[in-house]
Amino acid sequence: MNRGVDDEGFEYCVESTIGGFGPVEKTYHLSRRRRWIRQRTMVAESNAIKEKDQEALKASEGWEYAPLFNMKFHGKESKWIW
């Protein structure tokens, strides 16, 4: 994922649909794109707390909702066997 870019973080290319981006700007280059670097850290505790809160809310509420108004909640109806 670490590709060559210039000092400002840009890559240059003749045509963006063709590809072939490079780190050096030439006079015939017509497009450029900026490469961003994101620093991410995983916070495991907050995800576990959110899941526990959602499970507690589902258990206390007792309602199930469909993702859209025109859809049923269960895509496959179960047959009751008594």
- pLDDT given for residue 59 in this prediction: 66
Q: Which residues of the chain are under the pLDDT cut of 70? A: 1-2, 43-48, 57-67, 72-82
Q: What is the pTM of this model?
A: 0.38
Mind listing the pLDDT tens digit for each residue in 53-69?
777 766 666 566 666 77
User: 22, 12 in Cβ contact below 8 A?
Assistant: yes
Cα distance between the two ends of the chain: 58
